[in-house]
Amino acid sequence: MFKLNFKIALRNLWKNKGFSLINIGGLAIGLASCMLLLLYVSYEFSFDKQYENYKTTYVAHTNMTANGKVHTWAWTPGLLAPELKAKYSAVVNAARSSYPFEQLISYDDKKIKNKGLFADPEFIKILDYKFLSGNAISPLNNINSVILTQSLSHKLFGNQNPLGKIVKLDNEGGLKVEAVIADLPENTSIKFDYLMPWKLNEQRQKWIKEQGWGSNFCLTIVQLQNSSLLDQVNAAVKGIYQRNQKGLLNELFLHPLSRLHLYNEFENGKSAGGKIDQLRIFFMLAICI
């Protein structure tokens, strides 16, 4: 019976080749479009979820009111991370980092412009990068140290062992390669090719240590004991600027790292969507197809 029905179906398809081709082609294009949209949505939702502690990791944001309008950004004072770690028991770790910047890094006659980052030692405790070789415990404790990604290590040293070798930053000084980590995946918000100690940043930029609570120039990431403590911590840290510098009206809040990529727009100091709105449209299109 099945064979007979199958033969009849094939004959009908053959008789109406043009119509059948349009139907089958349309179905194939529809399914392919649906799959591509769902894959894209899935990829966007995967941002920053590769870290073991991503559910308890947050990025500090500042609300500043000017001309009656609230402006929100992830720029914070250099004094913030030490204050959070020292005075708030719910905070497991807090770390400062610069924003990624391009500088010349060189070894012998090889000179490459890549993105670097200065960060506190706690940075790699919060964001658990995969160490391929070298010191995975305290690679940022030495002020003249550097961590390279696998790709940058290969560009500079080829197949040589990079550990212990000295590279130069902008043709100045020397940084000892302490460790090599796996290349960062594309679905991460904080990207870099090499990582250096925050203390080196302070040494190179003398003005950093002189900045007070009104100077927002770095990224601060925070790890809490538990995600359920977020509201409690946000209530406690909201007035941290005013408590440390009289007359400063800025307010602080912690925004989940897992929402940093998709929920990146704010209105009146509150999360107001962002790329997530586009993804909702794409998801509905995929369902309709």
Strands (E), the chain: 57-66, 69-73, 91-97, 101-107, 110-119, 131-134, 145-149, 166-169, 172-181, 194-197, 219-224, 251-256, 266-267, 270-271
What are the pLDDT digits (tens) for 232-257?
999 999 999 999 999 999 999 999 99
**Above 90 in pLDDT, residue 52?**
yes
Domain count, the chain: 2
| Residues 130, 16 share a domain | no
| Residues 65, 3 share a domain | no
State mean pLDDT over 224-236: 98
The gap from C-alpha 238 to its chain's centroid, in whole angstroms, comes to: 23
**Above 70 in pLDDT, residue 10?**
no
State mean pLDDT over 193-203: 97
| Residues 150, 58 share a domain | yes
User: Would the CA dihedral through 143, 149, 152, 156 be positive or negative?
Assistant: positive
Q: And the tokens for 40?
A: 């894209």
**Above 90 in pLDDT, residue 62?**
yes
| Residues 24, 161 share a domain | no
Residue 289 lies in a domain: no
| Residues 117, 19 share a domain | no
Instruction: Give the DSSP letter of residue 150.
Output: H
| Residues 33, 1 share a domain | yes
Tokens 């002020």 sit on residue: 143
| Residues 64, 39 share a domain | no
Q: And the tokens for 164?
A: 């212990």
| Residues 23, 118 share a domain | no
Structural contact between residues 255 and 231, judged by C-beta atoms closer than 8 angstroms:
no
Could you give the CA distance from residue 242 to residue 252 in angstroms, rounded to a whole number? 10
| Residues 141, 41 share a domain | no
Residue 245 lies in a domain: yes
How far from 221 is each of 24, 125, 279, CA to CA, in Å? 51, 11, 26
**Above 90 in pLDDT, residue 59?**
yes
Could you give the CA distance from residue 256 to residue 240 in angstroms, rounded to a whole number? 19
Print the domain residue range for 144.
54-271
| Residues 201, 178 share a domain | yes
Higher model confidence: residue 7 or residue 92? 92
Q: Which of 22-36, 133-147, 267-281 has the lowest mean pLDDT?
A: 22-36
Would you tell me how many other CB atoms lie within 10 Å of the CB of residue 240?
23
64 Cβ partners below 8 Å, 6+ apart? 70, 71, 72, 73, 249, 250
Structural contact between residues 61 and 251, judged by C-beta atoms closer than 8 angstroms:
no
Q: What is the pTM of this model?
A: 0.88
Residue (of 154, 136, 126, 141) closest to 225 by Cα position: 126
Could you give the CA distance from residue 242 to residue 248 in angstroms, rounded to a whole number? 5
Could you give the CA distance from residue 233 to residue 6 in angstroms, rounded to a whole number? 66
Residue 255 lies in a domain: yes
| Residues 123, 225 share a domain | yes
Q: What are phi and psi of 10, to 5 degrees?
A: -65, -40
| Residues 75, 2 share a domain | no
Would you tell me how many other CB atoms lie within 10 Å of the CB of residue 59?
20
